[in-house]
Chains A and B, each alone.
Chain A
Amino acid sequence: MKHEAISAPGPEQAGVRTGFWKDSLRDYGLLFSLLVIMGFFYFLTDGISLAPLNVTNLILQNSYVVIMALGMLLIIVGGNIDLSVGSTVGFVGAIAATLMVGFHLQFLGLDTDIKVPWEPVIVIALALGAAIGAAQGYFVAFSKIPSFIVTLGGMLIFRGLTGNMLLGQFVGPFPKSFQNISSGFIPDFGDFDFLKPLTGDSNFHWGSMLVGIIGAAVLIYTSVRRWSRSRAQAMDTEPFVLFIGKNAIFALLILFFSYQLASYKGLPEVLIIMGVLILIYAFVTTRMTIGRRIYALGGNRLAAQLSGIRTERLTFLTFVNMGLLAGLAGLIVAARLNSATPSAGQSFELDVIAACFIGGASASGGVGKVMGVVIGAFVMGVMNNGMSIYGLGIYWQMVVKGIVLLSAVYVDVYQKSKG
């Protein structure tokens, strides 16, 4: 390979090559596993699992897991854990619901129908999520209490507050515009009547399909550009076949999902939110100094500290960020259920944390990638959804998910110990 120009010859060479393969093998293995699981449920459910309606549901059901997994990744990479996110989801949802539905009646004693408009509610809910993260982050980062304990406390506290506030009641329904956060679809735009014969479906949402096509094209364009620039600078690049294979699979997945979504109601709004967040977090973790510092913090806290990194502040920020995302997830969940319930978000933390570990994050910190975690979240999501369609009992579903989590991490640890 030509890109070894700056490499010193020597016996180490072979080791590094295989090291590279080993590192990337995990990424590809995960992607491959997702495809296999999707295929498995496709046959098991006679194709229902990949039908347009169900693909749409899959996205709607999983968006908040993916969104919280992005925050959880930073927490775990930084060497911590957050068990409280499920309770935060419930609590923020309950506060938002109370503000929208009952605020003026209960607090101001005014007997009017004026509702708090939903935009300020969103701002308040996100701020509340961030504040919850900040409070817990303070104890973890500055008081040096293990995150497991702090967030276990948070998990109990916010679940309890949610229950107290709602007193077993459902609070809802919400204004239509608020519900759209989780059940809205992007409006059709442009006139694509001339394409209609292609699908033979007059309801096909060409606007959504077009967004998918553009997305796939942008993905391929940026990856190729990056890859060839790296290669031109003699940086270490992945082998061409793998590179093409991976991007082709990604692009095809995007096109397939867009097609299925477009055949139903188009792209959900929440998918756009999720997609934008994935891009932002991928960028932050790979390209920004703050991302690099979080990895250094988790990789070796003392070395990071002695390199002039403010490790305490950084840990604190990862928790604020997590709280913010949990707040957003709380709104999405409330909007999806169209009510706040005492059990909303219960045990979400487990799905989110499992997504991170399946996605290759290391429990000891310093390791994990955004794309891995997103795929990990989809592995969990596809399994949840597929098993439900198949009619597997909820308890057996837990058993299966537990086994998948354990095997994914086992494979990881096994690979590492061999190397």
Chain B
Amino acid sequence: MNAILEMRGISKSFPGVKALRDVNLVVKAGEIHAICGENGAGKSTLMKVLSGVYPFGSYEGEIIYKGEERRFATISDSEHLGIIIIHQELALVPLLSIAENIFLGNEPATMGVINWATAFSKTRELLQKVGLKESPNALITNLGVGKQQLVEIAKALAKKVQLLILDEPTASLNESDSDALLNLLLEFRTQGIASILISHKLNELAKVADSITVLRDGTTVETIDTHAEKISEGRIIKSMVGREMSDRYPPREPKIGEKLFEVKDWRVEHPLHAGREVIKGVSLHVNRGEVLGIAGLMGSGRTELAMSVFGRAYGRNVTGKAFMDGQEIDVGSIQKAVANGIAYVTEDRKSLGLILNEDIKNNVTLANLPGIAWRGIIDDHKEASVASQYRGMLKIRSSSIFQKTLNLSGGNQQKVVLSKWLFAHPQVLILDEPTRGIDVGAKYEIYTIINELASTGKGVIVISSEMPELLGICDRIYVMNEGRFVDEMPASEASQEKIMASIMKQYGAVQ
């Protein structure tokens, strides 16, 4: 078979990070090609290079599509040639109809006047092809996620797709919807449409994929031909995570004390869809001096769990009990959670963690203004000395405490958010993806701060998608999947394979 797509020696850098390093990918005409790898392995970046989100010139290497070298400057360049990408976050307008969404930006029109009759009849045709029994008039917001996914695919078909890229299409689908989607891909294969499928669900890959390319740390590990070789889950996992651990983590000598914080039978419903449980009865505890890890893939409910514990900052109908030092505490509002010694460092520091327009000083003291004020009047000099102290302690690299946080690097921004919560003097500190997007040096410093915190008898909970990080800094690890804790293990007995296996077990292992 001929290759429809060949990506040769693709490299892509972001400030401080090399996201892709000499990646090669060959997709044959009419095949289903799976790409797998850990979070951060570079899968999405590679697809963004392919679709023109990162234009030609911002990466190195060449893209050969249908026998010609292509230099895409925008997404519409690649779409024009039939390369359509469907993102994990669906790009549909909720309050428009199916037909309007399918032809959005691509409306059948004469002189700007839309020919709705054509649009509707074409929509009906497309919906039939993808097997969706809905009126073209139905609003997207009234469809389930599975059906929305099908609308996205119909939209791709309307654009005369040649190469369909699906980024974790089944992540939020139930089993029957997933099956329908995968069968659709198989049908496309018979029509000569090639697909690239990014997925964590190895059993699905084994079912439909013709080839599997494994990425790790921004490089291609290997491409497996599933027809030539019998693949197993273990084989792929090893390929995905097989990386050496060196001294990327500071040495840790845990001094673990008695139980500090405990959550029992925690249940949370989705904030918009009442009745849809996002957290399904989670119980956890963290001891004094312990660094506790929560592993799991994105979307497994880790952030939702943490934010709902932190003063119900997420979700509705939150039930369950929280205890600090054996006493039940009220975490019904963020103020109460903070007053009861809980702090939460958000995963999205720019939009949820910092006031970017304000300086380091104002951000550091924000969660504990009474700590620098007397009867509501701020003591400027006390505030400056507090900010200077944390700036020194956490080695925040900046010109002064008066520098706007907007102008700091990711690592330093993260240290400002950490300072803010350290100054609030919590007993339990929940860190959500504390090292996302920051460089190796700053990561080491953050790990050191975590160690120091634990050594003062506080409890630290670290949520991370990077398994080596959890293995490197934690004492004990919970594995979370689909709103539940599916496993718990001491870090000494944990391995990436073991964690992956616990997650995959739920999907039905392939052996």
Contacts and interface: CB of A to CB of B under 8 A. Distances in A.
Interface of A: 4, 6-8, 10, 12-13, 15-16, 19, 229-230, 233, 235-236, 287-290, 292-293, 295-296, 299-300, 302-310, 366-367
A293 B365 CA distance: 11
Contact of B352 (A6, A13, A303, A309): A303
Contacts of A236: 400, 402
Nearest to B424: A308
Contacts of B407: 12, 15, 19
A310 B335 contact: yes
B384 A307 contact: no
Per CB-CB distance, the 7 closest pairs between chain A and chain B, nearest first, are: A299-B355, A289-B369, A16-B399, A307-B367, A236-B402, A308-B338, A12-B399
Interface stretch (B204-212, B264-272, B372-380): B372-380
B373 A296 contact: no
Interface string B445-489: 000000000000000000000000000000000000000000000
B399 A299 contact: no
Interface in B298-333: 310-311, 313
Given A288-B377, A308-B335, A16 B400 contact: yes
A19 B404 contact: yes
Contacts of B311: 308
A339 to B, nearest CB: 41
Contacts of B388: 6
B378 A300 contact: no
A16 B401 CA distance: 11
B365 to A, nearest CB: 8
Given A288-B378, A292-B378, A10 B357 contact: no
Contact of A287 (B353, B355, B377): B377
Nearest to B404: A19
A199 to B, nearest CB: 41
Given A235-B402, A306-B310, A306-B353, 8 more contacts: A4-B400, A6-B388, A8-B397, A19-B404, A299-B355, A299-B356, A306-B344, A308-B424
B366 interface: yes
A419 to B, nearest CB: 10
B242 interface: no
B58 interface: no
A293 B385 CA distance: 20
B354 interface: yes
Contacts of A4: 400
A288 B369 CA distance: 9
Most chain A beta-carbon neighbours within 10 Å: one of B344, B357, B376: B357
A87 to B, nearest CB: 32
Contact of A305 (B334, B398, B399, B402): B334
A304 B355 contact: yes
Contacts of B358: 295-296, 299, 366
A8 B388 CA distance: 12
B273 to A, nearest CB: 19
A289 B420 CA distance: 15
A304 B366 contact: yes
Given A300-B356, A366-B357, A233 B384 contact: yes
A288 B376 contact: yes
Contacts of B362: 292, 295-296
Contacts of A289: 369-370, 373, 376-378
B355 A303 contact: yes
A293 B357 CA distance: 14
Contact of B381 (A15, A233, A303): A233
B220 interface: no
A38 to B, nearest CB: 32
Contacts of A15: 399, 407
